[in-house]
Structure 1
Amino acid sequence: MSATSHRPDGGASKDGDRQTIALLHPGRMGTTLGAQLVAQGHRVLWWSTGRSAATRERAEQAGFAEIRSPEALGEVSVALSIAEPSAAADIAQAVAASPFRGVYVDANAGRPDRIRETAALLRRRGSTLVDGCVIGNPQPADPGPRLYLAGPRSAVDLVTRAFGAGPVGVTTVSTEVGAAKALKSAYASHQKTAYVLALLSLVYAERHGVREALLDASRAAPPTLPEVGADVGRAASVVARAWRWAPELVETADELQESGVPGDLASAAGRILARWDAAKDQFDADWERVLTTVLHRSAAFCEKE
C-alpha cells in the first residue's frame, strides 16, 4: 500500500471529536506529539509513576493531566506509547494489564515481529494496536516530526483525526502491523549511522587541523557531514541522544542480518554510540565538549576492540 500523508486544514477538533488520550511518556518527542493533541482540544493524560523531574516539568508546561495509577487508563480512548525502545515492551505489558480497551499506538522503534506479538497480546485484552514510528526532530518547527502509522484502517483513521493540523504530520504507510517498525529500521540504519560517521570524520579532521578544509570539501557531498559540522547544535544533538540511539541501532542491525542484509555498520555505530552515553541530554554542549566526549569515549572503545 502506498503511503498517504495527512496534514489537514482547519483548527482544533469539534467538541464531539474530543478524546481522552494517554501519553506514555512525555519525553522530548512525546511532549511535541502531546502538545499538538492538546492544541486539538483533547485531554492528554500522563502516568507519573517512576518518571523524572524533567518529565514532570515538560508535562506540566504542556498542560497534560497527571494520573498515578494504570486504573485511570480505563477512561482513555487512545494510548500513545513513545519512549526509549528498551521500555516499549514493559509499557505495553502494563497497558495490557490495565482496564484500557481502546486504540494503542506503539510509536517506538522496534522489530516488526515483536510488534506483531504485542498486537496479539493487546487484541486478547480487547484493545487494537496501531504500529507507529516517528521520524524527524522533536522541535515543533515547520516541518516538524512526522508520525507514520500502520494497522487497521479504522484505528489509523481515528489517530490521524486526533492529530488534526499542526507541525506534526501523520502518514499512513500500510494496513499491516509491522510496516512502521520496518520503515523506522530502514531509516535509522542510514540516518543514524550517517551521523555517527560524519561526527567521527569531523573529530578526526579536527585532530589533524583540517576540519574547515573538510567542511569546504564536503559542500558538494551528501548533506550529513556539512550539516553536522556547520551546526554545533546538530553535533551536540548526536551525542546527547547517543544513549537512546545505541540500542535502537543494535536492534536494527539484528533485524538487517535476519533479513539477509549485512548489519555490521549499524551494529558498529550502535556500539560507538553506547560509549557516548555520558553526554546524555546535553543538547547545549559546545564544540569542545562534543570533541572531548567523542575522543575520550571512543578511545576507550578502540582500546577494548
Structure 2
Amino acid sequence: MDQTVGILHPGSMGAAVAACATTNAGEVLWCETGRGAASVERAARFGLTPVATLRELLDRSDILVSLCPPAAAEDLAHDVAGYRFAGVYVEANAINPERVQRIARLLEPAAIVVDGGVVGSPPVGGKAATLYLSGPADATERIETLFAGTAVRTTLLGTDIGKASALKLSYSSFQKASRVLVALAVGMAREHGVDQALIEVAAKRTDSYLSEPEYVATTAARAWRWGPELEEAADALTAAGLPPEMLRAAASTLARWDDAKDGELTLTDALDRLVRP
C-alpha cells in the first residue's frame, strides 16, 4: 500500500531526500505556512505537494521526515508532539544522541521514532546520499522500502535510538572541522604571502584538504549550518567523557561567516570575512 510522506522542511537536503521518496510513496507533502519563497520554489521543482497547515500535514502523513537546521530540531518535534502525530517520525537531523533520545521520549508512544543520519551531498544530479537508520525493526524496514531503488541508500545500524546520530556526528565533526583548519592555515599563510607555496606543499601529499583551498568559500557559505552541527558534536563528546574544545573552537571560527549564508563567495572574500577583530 502506498504511503504518504511529510517532509519538515524542504531545504537543500530535505527537498532532495523528499524527491527521492516520491519514487515509492503515494504522495510527498510539505507545509508551506511560514516558509520563504526559496522553499516554495524548491518544493515545486522537486515535485512536492503543499498543504496549508502543520495539522493537515500530520493528519495525512504515514511517515514524517524531519530535516532542518540542528538548532530547530527539538522545537519542531515539540510542535509535532502537540498534535499527537501517530505515524513513523524519522529524526534525521544532525543532532547529538541525547537530543534524539529526548525527542523519542517526547513523541512516543503516539509515534514510532526512527533515528536517522544523512551522510553525503543532496541526492540530485547523479549524486547519492546514505541514510543511516537505527530504531524499531518494523519502522526502519518501512523507511528502507520507501527509499529502495533511489539515490538515498539506507544502512541499518541496529535498534538503539542514537546510533545513527552518533555515526553522523562522528563523521561530520572530522569532515567539517578539517575544512575549518584549512581556512585558518590558508588565512595564516596569506598574511605572510606564502599561501601559494602552502598549496604547492599540500599538493605533493595525497588526500590533503589543504590542496583544495577553493573549498574555503564553500565552507563559509555553509557555516550557518555547520557551526551548530559541530556544537552538537561537541555536546556528544562531552557526554562520552571526551574533550569538546577543538570542535567548539571550530564552531566559533565558523560563526565569523554566519552572515555569508548560502552566498556566492570567492576564496578572497571568505578569507577577508574570517579576519575580524
- CA–CA distance in 2 between the matches of 1:115 and 1:163? 22
CA distance in 1, matches of 2:241, 2:55: 43
Please give the secondary structure, in 1, of the residue aligned with 2:72.
helix
Aligned to 2:144: 160
| Alpha-carbon separation, structure 1, partners of 2:208 and 2:159 | 33
Cα pair 1:75 1:100 within 8 Å, conserved? no
Q: Which residue number corresponds to residue 267 of structure 2? A: 287
The correspondence of residues 76-155 of structure 1 with structure 2, limited to 5 A, is 76-98=61-83, 100-124=85-109, 126-138=110-122, 140-155=124-139
1:158-197 equivalent positions in 2, closer than 5 A: 158-197=142-181
**What's the TM-score, normalizing by structure 2?**
0.93
State the alpha-carbon separation in 1 of the partners of residues 70 and 220 from structure 2: 18
The alignment partner of 2:90 has SS state of strand
TM-score of the two chains, using structure 1 as the length reference? 0.85
Matching residue of 1:3: none
Q: Distance in 2 between matches of 1:170 and 1:224?
A: 28
Partner Cα distance (2:216, 2:152) in 1 = 24
Matched, 1:241 2:222: yes
Q: Note the aligned Cα RMSD (angstroms).
A: 1.7
Decide which moves more: 150-159 or 32-41.
Answer: 32-41
> Could you tell me how far apart the structure 2 residues matched to 1:19 and 1:237 are?
36
Mean CA deviation greater in 180-189 or 20-29: 180-189
Amino acid at match of 2:50: E
Query: Which of 18-27 and 234-243 deviates more?
Result: 234-243
Distance 2:98 2:153 in 1: 26
CA distance in 2, matches of 1:236, 1:140: 21
Quick check: 1:141–1:167 contact (8 Å CA) kept in 2? no
Distance 2:274 2:33 in 1: 34
Q: Which position in structure 2 is the counterpart of 1:10?
A: none
CA contact 1:249–1:266 (8 Å) conserved in 2:
yes
Contact 1:131 1:180 in 2 (8 A): yes
- 2:131 alignment partner, SS class: strand
Q: Matches of 1:29 and 1:49 in 2, distance apart?
A: 19
Q: Can you list the C-alpha shifts for 1:38-67, whole angstroms capped at 9, x where unaligned?
A: 233541111112211111110111111111
Task: Name structure 2 gaps, 5 residues minimum.
Answer: none
Note the residue ranges of structure 1 that are not aligned, 5 or more in a row: 1-15, 301-305
Identity of aligned residues (%): 39
1:96 partner letter: A
